[in-house]
Structure 1
């Protein structure tokens, strides 16, 4: 399992298997955030079994299930709420880690410069360039709200 850091609060990985949750607990992760909808693929582990195992290891489990590229403002805000209010460090996952990275950047665009987010994602191996316009829109909403 490859784990990549997006910032001091959140790391990202691809779909963990049930037996890999112990490794996440040993590495000190306190919260797990899943962005995969139930039944997304045949080989996807049962989310209920993952949640039960995570909780038995003392980790908190959250879900914001989204389809790739389909992020509502409610999804972004739910992700930001979990990021802001959960025990750290947090590990987020989806099939590949891309949705976690996208939602992280969208949730942070009102608080951090977009180029900084794009660079952090790129350092972790994820390309946010296709999302740049939407990230800029999120950033501009923060300016209007101030």
Structure 2
């Protein structure tokens, strides 16, 4: 299990298995945000089973399923709301962690400089440079509203 701490509140990882959920609870995670659609691949663990296990251990579970590279404003707003209302620490996941870190960056773009978000993502192994222009556009649109 490779958990990457992005900031003081949020960490990201690739798809957890059922056995990982108890380890996440023991590591202190209080919230999980799943950004992977259910039944995306045949080898994917059953999301409902993961959710039930997490909730039985006192972890709050959110599902914000997105397809790679397709982040609607509603998805970003849902992710931001989940982050804001969650008990720390929060773990985001998808198949590789990439969608989760992308959503984290969009959700934080209105409140933090994009360069800082890119730096934090890069520090844990995710290159968000290809999203820079889109994150800046999203930030400018969000901050003005």
* Cα displacement string for residues 29-78 of structure 1 (whole angstroms, at most 9, x for unaligned residues): 00011000011111100011000000111111100000000000000000
- The CA deviation string for residues 50-109 of structure 1, in whole angstroms up to 9 with x for no partner, is 000001111111000000000000000000000000111011100000001000001111
The normalised TM-score by structure 1 is 0.97
Specify the alignment match of 1:34 in structure 2: 34
How far is 1:5 from its partner?
A: 1.1
SS of 1:50's partner is helix
Give the alignment's Cα RMSD to 1 decimal. 0.7
Task: Provide the residue aligned with 2:80 in structure 1.
Answer: 80
Distance across 1 between alignment mates of 2:143 and 2:101: 23
2:135 aligns to what?
A: 135
- Structure 2 Cα separation of the partners of residues 16 and 87 of structure 1: 20
1:113 maps to 2:106: no
Consecutive unaligned residues in structure 1, runs of 5 or more? none
Determine the C-alpha separation between the residues in 2 that align with 1:33 and 1:58: 14
User: What stretches of structure 2 of length at least 5 have no aligned partner?
Assistant: none
Distance 2:115 2:75 in 1: 22
Q: Point out 4+ residue stretches in structure 1 off by more than 3 angstroms.
A: none
In the alignment, the residues of structure 1 paired with residue 80 and residue 6 of structure 2 have an alpha-carbon distance, to the nearest angstrom, of 14
Instruction: Indicate how the Cα distance of structure 1 residues 79 and 40 shifts in structure 2: closer, same or farther if over 3 A, else same.
Output: same
Instruction: Count the aligned residue pairs.
Output: 145
Could you say what secondary structure the match of 1:12 adopts? strand
Shift in Å, 1:25: 0.3
SS of 2:32's partner is strand
2:112 alignment partner, SS class:
coil
Give, in whole Å, the separation in 2 of the partners of 1:53 and 1:33. 14
